[in-house]
Amino acid sequence: MTQNPVLSINDLSIEFPVYKGAVKALNGVSLHVNEGEIVGVVGESGSGKSVTSMMAMKLLPEGSYRVTQGDISILGTDIIHASEKTMRTLRGGDVAMIFQEPMTALNPTRKIGIQMTDVIRLHRRLDNDAARQLAISLLKDMHIADPESTLQRYPFELSGGMRQRVLIALAFSCNPRLIIADEPTTALDVTVQKQVLMLLKAKARELKTAILFITHDMAVVSQFCDRVYVMYAGSLVEAGSTRQVLHAPRHPYTRGLMAALPELATPGSQLQAIPGNVPDLSRLPAGCAFASRCPSRSDKCNQKPVLTSIHEATTHQVACWHPALQEELAV
Amino acid sequence: MNAMTEQTLPTAPDIQPAAASGLGYFFYKVKKSPLTVAGLFIILFMLAMMLFAPWLATHDPNAIDLMYRLLPPSAEHWFGTDEVGRDIYSRIIFGSRQSISVGLFVVAVSGVIGALIGCFSGVVGGRTDRVIMRLMDVMLSVPSLVLTMALAAALGASLFNAMLAIAVVRIPYYVRLARGQALGIREMGYVKAARTFGASRWHIVSWHVIRNALPPLIVQATLDIGGTILMAAALGFIGLGAQQPTAEWGAMVATGRNYVLDQWWYSGFPGLAILITATGFNLFGDGIRDILDPKQKGK
Amino acid sequence: MAFLRMIKKRLLGLLLVVLGVSFITFAISHLIPGDPARLIAGDKASEEIVQNIREQLGLNQPLYIQYGTYLKGLATGDLGTSIRTTRPVLEDLKAFFPATLELSLVALLFASALGIPLGVISAVYKDKPIDQVVRTLAVTGISTPAFWLGLGVIVVFYGKLGLLPGGGRIDEGLTPPAAMTGFYLIDTLLQGDKAAFVSALKHILLPAFTLGFVHLGVVARQIRSAMLEQLQEDYIRTAKANGTSKWGVILHHALPNALIPSVTVIGLALGDLLYGAVLTETVFAWPGMGAYVVNSIQALDFPAVMGFAVVVSFAYVIVNLIVDMLYMLIDPRISEVS
C-alpha cells in the first residue's frame, strides 16, 4: 500500500484478568486507517470494538488489562510502550476522541466555554481570548446558532444533539489527523443523528482528518464510511470497502447483521435475528468463535480461520472456512 | 448485554464471567482484600480470647494485692497492675467477655427486633406502616449518643442497662433497613405468587421477606458491632456502664484516667483493646459490604 | 421556587424534631423510676420537703399537663430550670454553647483539611498500598474511643513533652476575652490580645485533634468513594482523551464534582461533632455543653438533659439547612434551574 496509515494495529490481543481466568477481549486484531480515510468498525456489544478504540488511545484503566501480543502505532508512535507524557500530547492534539454519551461526556459543573478553552490551551499557545474566538468559530462550523451564549452554558442546559456538536467541535479544535469516534450518535434521535454525522463528515473531509468510526449500526456505516471492518468476539471476521462488505458480504455473521437491518432489507422479506448469543469471552472456543451460531459450520470450523483476501485482486477479506458466494445476497 | 453495560466494559470488574458467584467467588474476593482478612483475623483472635480467657489469663482478674499496686508492665505483670494491685493483662482478657458480648448482644437484640418490626411494617403497609415509621423518625431525630446516655442514666447505671439503652436506640436503624427491603421484596413475583396461593401475611413475612432481607441486615449488623462496643465503652467511661469490680474495658480506661499521667498503662492497654476490637469489626464489616453490595459503597 | 420550598420543608422538619426530641426525653425522664424531687432534697430530707419540691416543680400534676407546660415554655424559649445548678437551662446552655461550637468547628476544619487530601489520594491509588494505609487510618479513626485518644494525647503532649496544656480553654492566669462572638480564638484576635490568643490556640489543639480524628476517617471515606464514583464518569474519559494531565483530571474535574455531594456529609458531621463533643469535653475539662450534659445526666437532672437534646437537635437542623443552601450555591444544576 502506498498510502500512509495514521493508525495501524497489528495482530493485537488484549485480555482482562478476572476471577479464575481472563476475558479475551481482542484476539489478533489487525487494522489500519489511512490519512483522511473514514473507516468503520462494526460489531455487537462485547465484540471488542470499544476496547480497540480505548486501547488505541491507551485509555483503558491501568493494570486492568494485559497486552498479550501485537502493537499499535499512531503517526509512527508506538502506543503500547509510549509514556504517559507522549500520550498526553497525542490525545486531544493529533488524535481526538468523540464518545457515545453526549449526556455525560462533558463535565456537568463547568461551563462549555471553560471546557473548550481549557482543551484548546492545553495544545495550542493561545491566550484566553484567542482560544475563545477559536471555540466560537468551531461551534459556528458545527452550525450552532448562538456560539457566544452557548459558551456561557452548562452541559445540562443543552440538548443531546447540541452537546454532541460541542464534543465534535472540541475534537476538531486542534486540527487532529485522526478522530476516534465511539458510537458518537447512538444516543441521539435518528434525525439529529444524521445531521450530526453529516457535520462530522464534512468537517473531516475539509481538514483531511481520518476517522475511526466505531458503531453497531450497518446503516450508519453505509452512509458514512469508506472502508469497514466487522468484528465478532474480539476478532475481525470481514474487511473491505463499504461497498464490498455491504453489498457482497461473505461472512455468515456479516450477512446475519445485514439481514437484521430494516433499512437494507428488500421490502416484503422478513427481518432475521441471528440465533444464539455472543460467546463468553473468558471461554472462547479454539476454533471459529461464530461456529456455534453459524448455519454453515463444519468440522473445519474447529480451527480458527484467519482473515484472508477472497481472491488475489481485491482488498475484500474474510475470516471464514465457508464464505458465502457473492450472488446469494442481492441488495 | 445492553448499551449501559457496554459503556462500562473496559473496566475489568464489570466483565466477570458467568461463573462468578457462589461461595468460592466470595472467598476469592475476601482474599483479594487484605483489610477484610485483617479484620477477620482480629475478630477470630478476640473471640478466641473470650472463649479461652481462663487459660490465657496469668492472674485472677479480681485478685487484689495492695503490695503490688500501679506497677509498670513487667515479666510478671505484662500490662502492669491497677490501683489495688490487680493484673491489667488478665483483666483485659476477661474484660473481652464483657465488652465483646455487649456488642454481640446489642446487635442481636436490636437487629432481630428491628428486622421484625421493619418487615412487619413493610408488608402490612397502610396506616400501621405510617405510624410505625413516624415513630422511628422521631427516635432517629434525637442525637443517638444523648438518647443512649439519658436512657442508660434513667434506667440506672449498670452494664445490662447500658446494653439495653444502646439496643433500644439502635432499633430504628434496623427497622428502616428491613422495611426498605421488605417493600422491595413485596413487589417481587414470588411473594405475590405466595399470596395468590393463599399464604398468610405472617407466613410471607417470616419466610420470604426475612430470608431475603437478611444479607443487608447482616452487613449492617457487622458494621454496628464495632460502634456498639465503642458506645458501651463510652458509657462505661462516664460511669453509666459496668460497675466495679467488673473488668470492662471502658470502665478500666475511666478509672485509669485518675492515674494517667504517671501510670499510662492503666488506661492505655484497655483502650487499645477497644480500638483493636472495634477496628476488626469495622474492617470486616466494610469488606463484606463492598463484596456483597458494591453499589452501596460509601453510603 | 425550589429554594423556598426547601426552607419551608426544613422548618417544618425542625418543628417535628423539637416536638419529637422533647417528647422522648420527657418520656424517659418521667416513665422510668427515679424521683427527681427526692434527688434534689437529698436522702435525709423529710417526706414533707420532698412533697414541697414536687409541688414547686409541678411534678405532682398529670403527665400530659407537665408536658404541655414544658412545650408552652419551649415556645417562649424557656427550657425549664436545671435541678443541679438551679439556673434556667437556657442560660446555662447559652454560656456553654460557644465553647462547644468553637471546638467542633476547629475539629471539623482539621478533619477536612486532612481528610480531603487523604481521600483523594486513596481514590487515585485505589487498592495500592497507600490506599490500604489511608483506609486503615480511616477505619481506625472511626474505631477509636475518643476519650481514650484524648487521654493519650494528654499524656504525650502535656505529661511527657509539656508542650501543650492538658485541659481548659485558656491559661488560668489570663482573663478570658470579653464575649463578642463567644469564640476565644476570634475574640482574642479582635481585641488584639496576642498572649490570650496563643493560649486559646494551644488549649484547643489537643481537644480539636481528638474530636477531629474520628471524623477524619468519615471525611476521608466520603471523599474517597465520591472520587471513585466521579473518576468513572464519562467526562473524565473525555478530559483524558483531550490530553488533560492525570492530576489535572483529578483536581480540576473529579474533585470539584466529588466535593458537591461531600458537602452534605461533611456538613452533617458538624452536627455529629456537636454532640460527639460530649466525651472529648469531659476528658479535657473543656467548659462546653458536653461536660455540662454529662454532669447533668449523672445527677439525673433531666430538665438540663432535655434542654441539651433540644438545643443540639435544633442546631442539627440549622446545620442541615445551611448545608442545603450551600449545596444549591455550588451545584449549578440545582441553582440555575430554580
The reply to whether C308 touches chain B by the CB within 8 Å rule is yes
**Is residue C244 a part of any domain in this protein?**
yes
Contact A304, A288 (CB under 8 A): yes
User: Can you tell me the mean pLDDT for C85-98?
Assistant: 89
**What are the domain boundaries of chain B?**
29-57+77-296
% of chain B exceeding 90 in pLDDT = 23
**Is residue A326 a part of any domain in this protein?**
no
**Is residue C334 a part of any domain in this protein?**
no
The reply to whether A45 touches chain B by the CB within 8 Å rule is yes
pLDDT by residue, tens only, chain A of 331 residues: 446 789 999 999 999 988 778 889 999 999 999 999 999 999 888 788 889 998 998 988 888 899 999 999 999 899 999 998 899 889 988 999 988 776 788 898 889 999 999 989 988 889 999 999 999 999 998 888 899 999 999 988 898 888 888 999 999 988 999 999 988 887 778 888 888 899 999 999 999 999 999 998 888 898 899 999 999 999 999 999 999 898 888 898 988 888 777 665 566 666 667 777 778 888 888 888 888 888 888 888 888 898 888 877 788 999 999 888 765 444 4
State the Cα–Cα distance between residues A271 and B197, nearest whole angstrom.
42
Per-residue confidence (pLDDT) for residue B107, from 0 to 100: 94
Check CB contact under 8 Å for C142 and B282: yes
State the Cα–Cα distance between residues B19 and B9, nearest whole angstrom.
18
Check CB contact under 8 Å for A109 and C238: no
What pTM, to 2 d.p., does this model score?
Answer: 0.82
Q: Chain C: nearest CA to A93, how far in angstroms?
A: 7
- Among C29, C158, C278, select the one facing B154 at the smallest CB separation: C29
Check CB contact under 8 Å for B17 and A21: yes
Task: Say which amino acid occupies B230.
Answer: L
ipTM (interface pTM): 0.83
Per-residue confidence (pLDDT) for residue B2, from 0 to 100: 38
User: Can you tell me the mean pLDDT for C45-65?
Assistant: 78
Structural domain count, chain C: 1
Best of B15, B21, B26, B27 to disrupt the A interface by mutation (most A CBs within 10 Å)? B15
Per-residue confidence (pLDDT) for residue C213, from 0 to 100: 92
For A133, phi then psi, to 5°, come to: -60, -45
* Contacting subunits of C (3+ beta carbon pairs below 8 A): A, B
* Contacting subunits of B (3+ beta carbon pairs below 8 A): A, C
- Residues 6+ positions from A127 with CB-CB distance below 8 Å: none
Residue among B157, B142, B140 nearest B232 (CA): B157
Contact C228, C126 (CB under 8 A): yes
Q: Chain B partners of C143 at a C-beta cutoff of 8 Å?
A: 226, 230, 275, 278-279, 281-282
Cα dihedral sign for A113, A115, A120, A122? Answer: positive
Q: CATH for B29-57+77-296? A: 1.10.3720.10
Per-residue confidence (pLDDT) for residue A327, from 0 to 100: 52
> A216 lies in which domain range?
5-303
Structural domain count, chain A: 1
**Is residue A287 a part of any domain in this protein?**
yes
Per-residue confidence (pLDDT) for residue A269, from 0 to 100: 61
pLDDT band at C117 (very low <50, low <70, confident <90, very high): very high
Helix (H, G, I), strand (E, B) or coil at C270: helix
User: What CATH number is given to the structural domain containing C250?
Assistant: 1.10.3720.10
> C133 lies in which domain range?
92-289
pLDDT higher than 70, residue B150: yes
Q: Are strands A178-182 and A210-215 parallel, antiparallel or unpaired?
A: parallel
Cα dihedral sign for C230, C232, C235, C238? Answer: positive
**Is residue A318 a part of any domain in this protein?**
no
Q: A16-30, A128-142, C240-254, C312-326 — which is least confidently predicted?
A: C312-326
Q: Please write the tens of the pLDDT for every residue from B24-76.
A: 777 777 777 888 899 999 999 999 999 998 999 888 888 888 888 888 898 88
Radius of gyration of chain B, Cα coordinates, nearest whole angstrom: 23
Which of A251-260, B239-248, C101-110 is modeled with the greatest confidence?
A: C101-110
pLDDT higher than 90, residue B77: no
**Is residue C283 a part of any domain in this protein?**
yes
Give the residue from chain C lying closest to B224, CA to CA. Answer: C143
Give the residue from chain B lying closest to A65, CA to CA. Answer: B12
Q: Please write the tens of the pLDDT for every residue from C122-154.
A: 999 988 899 999 999 999 998 999 999 999 999
Check CB contact under 8 Å for B6 and A50: yes
**Is residue A329 a part of any domain in this protein?**
no
Check CB contact under 8 Å for B253 and C312: no
Q: Chain C partners of A164 at a C-beta cutoff of 8 Å?
A: none
